[in-house]
Homo-oligomer: A and B are copies of this chain.
Amino acid sequence: MTPRAFVPGHVTGFFSVHPDDDPVVAGSRGAGLALSDGVTVTADPVASADQRAVELNGETVEMPAVTGVLNRLDAHARVVADTDLPLSAGFGVSGACALGTALSLDAATAGGHTERELVAIAHASEVEAGTGLGDVVGQARGGLPVRLEPGAPPHGYLDGLPARPAVEYVTFGGLDTAAVIGGDTETLSRAGEEALATLRETPTVETFMRAARRFSREASLQTDEVRTAIEAVEAAGGEAAMAMLGQTVFALDDGLSRAGYDARSCRVTDGAALVGE
C-alpha cells in the first residue's frame, strides 16, 4: 500500500509578506488555525515524467506546488489528493497537497528525509508556485500556529497557542492568492505586523480573533458577504474573522450556526503526518 499522509487545512487570520530570492527563506509572519478538515494525499512513484499526474477529488489538475515537490525530490509520481475543504478559499489546499506529496513520496521511496527537510521542500515549492507563503509551516506544526519568523526550517520560527477550540466556517467564494501576495503588500504587511505584535503581547485565542478581524478590515480584504457574516456572529455573541485568502469566514465554537449560517464544523488539530498503515 502507498503510504498516505493527512495534512490539516490551514486558515490564516493575519499575515505580513517577507519576500526573498531564496524560496526557503521567503514566507510570511502571521497566525492561523490547523483544522481537522484537511487533505489526504498519496504519491505513487511512476517510471517517467509523462506518467506524472495530480488528481484532486477525482479530477486531473495542474498544481505547480506539487510539481515543485516532485522536482526537488527528483521523482515521478501519480499524486492523488482528496478533501472536503472548499478550494481556492483560504484553506491552504495547495500547501497541503505539496506537504502531503513530500511526506507520502519520501515514505514510498524510503527517501530518508527528515520532517524539517520535507517541510522545507514543500514550503519552497509552494512559494515558487505563488500559491502561499505560510500554510505549509503552519500545517506541519498544527494547532494554532504563530509564525514569528518567515520561511521554512531552519530559517522560520513558529510558536503556537495551546488552545484547541472547535471551529465553524462558511465560504462565499475564492480570492486570487497570487494577485494579492504578488501585488502591493505594504499596507497589508504593516497591518499584519501590528496584529502579530498585539498577539505576542497577549497570546490568547480571543486576541487572535480580534487581531484577525482588524487586519482584514485594515487590509481592505473583506467583501460585503464576509463583513455581514462577521458582524452577524458578533451580534450573536460569537467571535469570527476572515480567512486569508478567501471569501471565507471562520468562527469559534458554533458562532456561525448561532448567527443563522449553514456552516461546516471541525476542530483545531495536530500537524501533518503519515497515517498509520
Contact = CB atoms under 8 A, between A and B. Distances in A.
Interface in A71-119: 103, 106-107, 110, 112-118
Contacts of A106: 162
Interface in A120-161: 142-143, 146, 153, 159-161
Report which residue of A114, A116, A118, A161 has the largest number of chain B beta carbons within 10 angstroms of its beta carbon.
A114
A161 to B, nearest CB: 6
A107 B162 contact: yes
Copy total for this chain: 2
Given A113-B203, A164-B273, 4 more contacts: A114-B146, A114-B159, A115-B143, A142-B270
A30 interface: no
A220 interface: no
Contacts of A49: none
Contacts of A112: 202-204
Contacts of A235: none
B164 A114 contact: no
A180 interface: no
Contact of A273 (B166, B270, B276): B270
A216 B103 CA distance: 30
